[in-house]
C-alpha cells in the first residue's frame, strides 16, 4: 500500500521585496508565530546589506543562497547491520532549505550584536564565499566525496 501523497504549499512572496525565498527566510527565522518580529529582523538585515555593499540586497541574498546551496548531501542507510553514509544529490527545493538553515544557524551562533546585524554579516560573507555557512557546505561536500564508495547503496 502506498503512502499518502504530500502536497507542497505555495509560499506567498513577502510584502516588501515580493520575493519567495525572502518569505521562506522570514518563516524559517520566525519563532512562536511572531511574524512581525521575524519580518523586522530580515528587513533590517537586508537594509544593512544594502548599506554595506552599496548594491541590490536581493541580488546579494540570491548570490549567498547559490553559494551556500549544496550539490551533494549524506544520508545514513542501514544495510546488513552496518550503517553507511551514502552520498545523494540534493533536490532544488531542499538546496534552498538547507542554505537558509545554515545561514540562520551561523548567524545565531555569533554573539554580541542584534540578530539583524549578525544575519546581514552572514549574508555578505556567504555572497563572498566565506563564513560559517560556507564552511558547513564545504564540510558536507567533503564528507560526500569521501563516501563516494558507498554511492551504489543509494535507493
Tell me the per-residue pLDDT of 99-148, one tens digit each, with 9 for 90 and over. 999 999 999 999 999 999 999 999 999 999 999 999 999 999 999 888 88
Q: Can you give the pLDDT at residue 155?
A: 63
Name the band, by pLDDT with cuts 50, 70 and 90, for residue 6: confident
pTM of model > 0.85: yes
Q: How many domains does the chain have?
A: 1
Per the domain annotation, does 63 fall within a domain?
yes
Residue at 137 is within a domain: yes
46 domain residue, yes or no: yes
Question: Domain with 84 in it: what CATH number?
Answer: 1.10.455.10
pLDDT, greater one: 4 or 45: 45
Taking alpha carbons only, the member of 96, 69, 63, 84 closest to residue 143 is: 84
The 8 Å CB, 24+ separation contacts for 82-86 are: 84/147, 84/150, 84/153, 85/143, 85/147, 85/150, 86/147, 86/150, 86/151, 86/153, 86/154
Q: Give me the DSSP letters along 43-107.
A: HHHHHHHHHHHSS-HHHHHHHHHHHH--SEEEEEEEETTEEEEEEEEPPHHHHHHHHHHHHHHHH
On whether residue 2 sits in a domain, the answer given is no
CA-derived radius of gyration, the chain: 18
**Residue 40, domain extent:** 20-153
Grid cell in block for residue 129: 564565499
Amino acid at each position: 500500500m502506498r503512502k499518502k501523497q504530500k502536497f507542497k504549499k505555495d509560499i506567498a512572496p513577502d510584502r516588501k521585496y515580493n520575493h519567495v525565498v525572502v518569505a521562506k527566510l522570514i518563516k524559517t527565522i520566525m519563532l512562536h508565530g511572531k511574524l512581525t518580529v521575524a519580518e523586522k529582523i530580515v528587513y533590517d538585515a537586508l537594509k544593512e546589506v544594502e548599506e554595506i555593499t552599496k548594491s541590490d540586497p536581493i541580488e546579494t541574498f540570491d548570490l549567498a543562497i547559490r553559494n551556500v546551496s549544496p550539490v551533494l548531501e549524506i544520508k545514513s542507510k542501514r544495510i546488513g547491520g552496518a550503517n553507511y553514509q551514502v552520498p545523494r544529490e540534493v533536490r532544488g527545493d531542499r538546496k534552498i532549505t538547507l542554505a537558509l538553515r545554515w545561514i540562520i544557524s551561523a548567524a545565531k551562533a555569533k554573539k554580541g550584536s542584534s540578530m539583524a546585524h549578525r544575519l546581514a554579516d552572514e549574508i555578505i560573507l556567504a555572497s563572498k564565499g566565506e563564513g560559517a555557512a560556507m564552511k558547513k557546505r564545504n564540510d558536507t561536500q567533503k564528507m560526500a566525496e569521501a563516501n563516494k564508495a558507498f554511492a551504489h547503496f543509494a535507493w
